């Protein structure tokens, strides 16, 4: 029998109940963090806030924010709230200047995270009869591990494919009759094209649903993927700092993602003033982890711009919904599902003896991101053979790949050839905006 | 002895060759030979000209990315087998040719070959020992 919810008592609890749980958990969590995380205690002391000042969610605004820079500064153990011996896992994501962000998990943290992704899977129709093909990357990236664990919790047969090797993905999809596909939307689109090229029609596969996240995508792309694979496509949202994918997930309504409010409090703030904005306002999403033991972040600024809505959902879930992120309040780009900061690119250039005269050009070809970096050479970089230049390009490309985790195409250009507007070089040309991609 | 070659970095964009050839023309410099090495993104335009310094200055002031490389120039009889002969000499002495191009002057019965090798002096010494006539800057002007 198909269950509509993975944890119905949580997912459909009345609003008053959500508020009550959030109030209780918040008071406890703030005290826990104040007692165990010196870094945050210092921030609270600096702001003159004591744990006793926080009596419930209405006092949340009194707490200081945490930013990505704080995570970098506190790297690696500065925000840990428990003994390392209680931790069982780390996951990691890229930081702003190359230093990675490391998040720690206790077994309870892992269970909570996997229950969140299990909710997302069940919302997409998963039962123990399903075959879930996970082609998010495995490893430090949270995509693979998070959905994988959720799939186990639901009792689905889980195919830990990881990303890449599309021929093998298709072989397993066909031979083992996968019913739910989990990957980035651009990879889903790519698999769709590959299936078509291999002579398969959408009805030839057994897929019924797909859970796609980790990068921005549009409604148009959703329709394309649904048509190409013959499925219903669901969005999922999350971030390593808070747990991973599954912080919020889409239901059959496909109108925004329900935030797992029994574990996380979401706020929308004005990114400039930090002021909390009323429901329905567009602003920066801020999360507070209520249940995390190892790495409990309070008021973490995601830099994602979106809108929250408490409007009743026909699926029966009572959790607040967030729109897809509509933009960023910093200069982070999401390229092929990977977070990239211009400062990382600058770091690589300086480390390799180049002046930071560069331009990033992003575009979309066949629903997949193209990533080019133009870099100005200095006169001594140029002689009379293409070989010396292409070798330098290759070396720089390898250094970029090592820092960013994805492979850009590096082009060395003549000095002063990158257009400057009012003396300042334009660092980013994002042609993906033409296709509605805004991050 | 070696001859100066001008190398120009050319992005694969419209109008780039116009800028280059125009500025050389305006400087009143004569092009004796040229070759182009190209990749997907850019090309390198190599020139042997009558007045390399003058051309260099003109190109730089019109915003071109230019460098000067010394290359070996040889003068060979314009007849079958003479290119084979110098290539054999170099091969026998383990000298690799990175690239080469040749041009013929109409008035004289000689062809000129431009050779890019790792060590000009070694290559020149070997060529001279084998009776090959080398080109000098003045030969380029007088062609």
Same domain, A388 and A312: no
Same domain, A301 and A201: yes
Å from A403 to nearest chain B CA? Answer: 24
* Partners of residue A278 on adjacent β-strands: none
Same domain, B63 and B79: no
- Domain count for chain A, please give it: 2
**pLDDT in the model for residue A98:** 66
Task: With CB atoms and an 8 Å threshold, state whether B42 touches A386.
Answer: yes
**Residue numbers in A near B44 (CB within 8 A):** 384-386
**pLDDT in the model for residue A405:** 87
**Residue numbers in A near B41 (CB within 8 A):** 411
Average pLDDT, chain A: 93
Does residue A138 fall inside a structural domain? yes
Same domain, B100 and B138: yes
Same domain, B97 and B58: no
Does residue A324 fall inside a structural domain? yes
Residues A209-227, mean pLDDT to the nearest whole number: 92
Same domain, A90 and A144: yes
Structure tokens that stand for A95 in this block: 């930081």
Asked which of A296, A328, A360 is the last residue of a domain, the reply is A328
Å from B116 to nearest chain A CA? Answer: 9
Å from B19 to nearest chain A CA? Answer: 14
A424 pLDDT exceeds 70? no
Q: Among A107-111, A201-205, B105-109, which stretch is predicted with the lowest mean pLDDT? A: B105-109
Does residue A2 fall inside a structural domain? no
Same domain, A358 and A387: yes
Enter the ipTM.
Answer: 0.79
Residue of A386, A413, A415 lying closest to B44 (CB–CB): A386
**pLDDT in the model for residue B53:** 94
Look at residues B56, B68, B67 and name the one whose alpha carbon lies nearest to residue B24. B56
**pLDDT in the model for residue A425:** 65
The answer, as to whether pTM is greater than 0.90, is no
pLDDT tens digits along A225-255: 999 999 999 999 999 999 999 999 999 999 9
Asked which of B70, B99, B116 is the last residue of a domain, the reply is B70
Same domain, A27 and A152: yes
Same domain, B104 and B93: yes
**Residue numbers in A near B114 (CB within 8 A):** none
Does residue A1 fall inside a structural domain? no
Same domain, B7 and B58: yes
Same domain, B54 and B109: no
Same domain, A241 and A368: no
Asked which of B39, B70, B101 is the last residue of a domain, the reply is B70
In chain B, the residue whose alpha carbon lies closest to the alpha carbon of A414 is B65
| CATH number where A377 lies | 3.30.300.30
Residue of B7, B38, B43 lying closest to A383 (CB–CB): B7
Residue A385: CB atoms within 10 A of its CB come to 17
Contact residues of B toward A, CB < 8 A: 5, 7, 9, 11, 37-39, 41-44, 46, 63-65, 67, 69, 98-99, 116
pLDDT tens digits along A326-343: 988 888 899 988 889 888
pLDDT tens digits along A126-155: 999 999 999 999 999 999 999 999 999 999
Residue of A382, A390, A416 lying closest to B9 (CB–CB): A382
**Burial status of residue A203 (CB atoms within 10 A of its CB: 0-12, 13-18, 19 or more):** exposed
Same domain, B81 and B126: yes
| CATH number where A160 lies | 3.40.50.12780
Task: With CB atoms and an 8 Å threshold, state whether A386 touches B65.
Answer: no
**Which of A359, A373, A384 has the most B C-beta neighbours within 10 Å, making it the best mutation to test the interface with B?**
A384
Same domain, A401 and A359: yes
User: A173: domain range?
Assistant: 8-328
A1 pLDDT exceeds 60? no
Residue A317 phi, psi dihedral angles, 5° rounding: -75, 145
Same domain, B12 and B61: yes
Same domain, A127 and A216: yes
Q: Which long-range contacts (CB under 8 A, 24 or more apart) does B116-123 make?
A: B116/A384, B116/A385, B116/B5, B116/B69, B116/B71, B116/B72, B117/B72, B117/B90, B119/B95, B120/B1, B120/B2, B120/B70, B120/B71, B120/B72, B122/B95, B123/B72, B123/B90, B123/B95
Å from A337 to nearest chain B CA? Answer: 27
Q: For tokens 């290119």, what's the residue? A: B83
Same domain, A343 and A321: no
Same domain, B84 and B63: no
**pLDDT in the model for residue A439:** 73
Same domain, A341 and A295: no
Residues A1-10, mean pLDDT to the nearest whole number: 87
CA distance linking residue A138 with residue B2, whole number of Å: 58
Does residue A248 fall inside a structural domain? yes
**Residue numbers in B near A381 (CB within 8 A):** none
**Which of B9, B14, B114 has the most A C-beta neighbours within 10 Å, making it the best mutation to test the interface with A?**
B9
Residue of B39, B65, B69 lying closest to A414 (CB–CB): B65
| CATH number where B24 lies | 3.30.2130.10
Structure tokens that stand for B19 in this block: 């800028």
- Domain count for chain B, please give it: 2
A96 pLDDT exceeds 70? no
Task: With CB atoms and an 8 Å threshold, state whether A384 touches B9.
Answer: no
**pLDDT in the model for residue A426:** 77
Residue pair A51/A59 in contact (Cβ under 8 Å)? The answer is: no
A108 pLDDT exceeds 80? yes
**pLDDT category of residue A421 using cuts at 50, 70 and 90:** low
Asked which of A295, A328, A361 is the last residue of a domain, the reply is A328
Q: Does A414 touch chain B (CB under 8 A)?
A: yes
**pLDDT in the model for residue A422:** 60
**Which of B42, B45, B116, B118 has the most A C-beta neighbours within 10 Å, making it the best mutation to test the interface with A?**
B42
Residues A282-290, mean pLDDT to the nearest whole number: 97
Asked which of A283, A305, A328 is the last residue of a domain, the reply is A328
pLDDT tens digits along B9-57: 998 888 888 899 999 999 999 999 999 998 888 999 999 999 999 999 9
Task: With CB atoms and an 8 Å threshold, state whether B9 touches A383.
Answer: no
Same domain, B25 and B62: yes
Residues A312-327, mean pLDDT to the nearest whole number: 96
CA distance linking residue B60 with residue B23, whole number of Å: 9
Same domain, A88 and A218: yes
CA A373 from chain centre, in angstroms, equals 23
Same domain, B129 and B100: yes
Task: With CB atoms and an 8 Å threshold, state whether B11 touches A414.
Answer: yes
**pLDDT in the model for residue A379:** 80
**Residue numbers in B near A386 (CB within 8 A):** 37-39, 42-44
Residues A75-80, mean pLDDT to the nearest whole number: 96
* Partners of residue B67 on adjacent β-strands: B7
Å from B44 to nearest chain A CA? Answer: 7
**pLDDT category of residue A355 using cuts at 50, 70 and 90:** confident
A with B: how many residue pairs have Cβ under 8 Å apart? 45
Same domain, B84 and B43: no
A287 pLDDT exceeds 60? yes
Same domain, A286 and A345: no
**CB-facing half-sphere around the CA of A317: CA atoms within 13 A:** 30
Residue window 345-404, chain A: list those with CB within 8 Å of chain B. 377, 379, 382-386, 389-390
User: B125: domain range?
Assistant: 71-142
Asked which of B53, B70, B87 is the last residue of a domain, the reply is B70
Residues A277-291, mean pLDDT to the nearest whole number: 97
């Amino acid at each position: 029998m198909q269950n509509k919810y993975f944890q119905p008592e949580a997912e459909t609890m009345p609003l008053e109940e959500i508020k009550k749980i959030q109030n209780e958990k918040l008071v406890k969590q703030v005290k826990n963090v104040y007692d165990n995380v010196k870094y945050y205690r210092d921030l609270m002391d600096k702001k003159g806030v004591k744990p006793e000042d926080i009596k419930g969610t209405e006092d949340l605004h009194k707490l200081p924010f945490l930013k990505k820079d704080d995570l970098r500064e506190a790297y690696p153990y500065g925000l840990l709230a428990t003994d390392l011996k209680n931790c069982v896992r780390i996951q990691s994501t890229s930081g702003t200047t190359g230093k990675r962000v490391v998040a720690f998990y206790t077994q309870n943290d892992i269970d909570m995270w996997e229950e969140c992704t299990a909710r997302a899977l069940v919302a997409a129709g998963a039962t123990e009869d399903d075959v879930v093909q996970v082609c998010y990357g495995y490893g430090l990236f949270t995509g693979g591990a998070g959905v994988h664990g959720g799939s186990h919790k639901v009792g689905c047969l889980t195919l830990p494919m990881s990303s890449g090797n599309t021929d093998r993905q298709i072989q397993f999809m066909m031979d083992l009759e996968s019913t739910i596909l989990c990957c980035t939307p651009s990879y889903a689109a790519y698999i769709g094209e590959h299936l078509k090229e291999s002579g398969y029609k959408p009805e030839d596969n057994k897929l019924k649903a797909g859970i796609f996240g980790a990068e921005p995508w549009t409604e148009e792309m959703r329709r394309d993927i649904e048509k190409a694979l013959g499925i219903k496509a669901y969005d999922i949202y999350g971030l390593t700092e808070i747990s991973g994918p599954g912080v919020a997930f889409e239901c059959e309504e496909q109108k925004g993602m329900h935030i797992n409010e029994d574990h996380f409090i979401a706020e929308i703030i004005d990114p400039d003033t930090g002021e909390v904005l009323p429901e329905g306002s567009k602003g920066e999403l801020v999360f507070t982890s209520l249940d995390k033991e190892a790495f409990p972040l309070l008021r973490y600024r995601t830099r994602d711009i979106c809108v929250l809505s408490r409007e009743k959902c026909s699926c029966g879930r009572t959790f607040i919904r967030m729109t897809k992120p509509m933009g960023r309040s910093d200069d982070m780009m999401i390229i092929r599902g990977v977070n990239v900061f211009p400062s990382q690119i600058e770091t690589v250039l300086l480390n390799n003896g180049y002046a930071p005269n560069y331009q990033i050009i992003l575009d979309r070809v066949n629903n997949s991101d193209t990533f080019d970096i133009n870099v100005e050479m200095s006169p001594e970089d140029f002689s009379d053979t293409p070989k010396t230049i292409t070798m330098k390009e290759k070396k720089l490309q390898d250094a970029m790949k090592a820092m960013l985790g994805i492979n850009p195409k590096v082009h060395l250009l003549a000095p002063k050839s990158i257009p400057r507007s009012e003396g300042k070089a334009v660092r980013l040309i994002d042609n993906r905006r033409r296709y509605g991609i805004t991050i | 002895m070696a001859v100066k070659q001008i190398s120009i970095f050319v992005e694969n964009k419209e109008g780039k060759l116009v800028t280059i050839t125009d500025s050389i023309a305006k400087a009143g410099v004569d092009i004796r030979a040229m070759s182009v090495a190209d990749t997907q993104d850019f090309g390198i335009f190599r020139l042997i000209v009558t007045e390399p310094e003058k051309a260099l200055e003109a190109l730089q002031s019109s915003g071109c990315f230019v460098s000067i490389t010394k290359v070996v120039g040889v003068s060979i009889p314009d007849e079958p087998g003479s290119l084979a002969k110098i290539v054999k000499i170099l091969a026998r002495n383990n000298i690799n040719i990175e690239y080469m191009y040749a041009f013929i002057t109409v008035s004289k019965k000689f062809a000129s070959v431009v050779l890019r090798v790792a060590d000009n002096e070694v290559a020149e010494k070997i060529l001279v020992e084998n009776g090959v006539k080398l080109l000098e800057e003045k030969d380029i002007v007088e062609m």
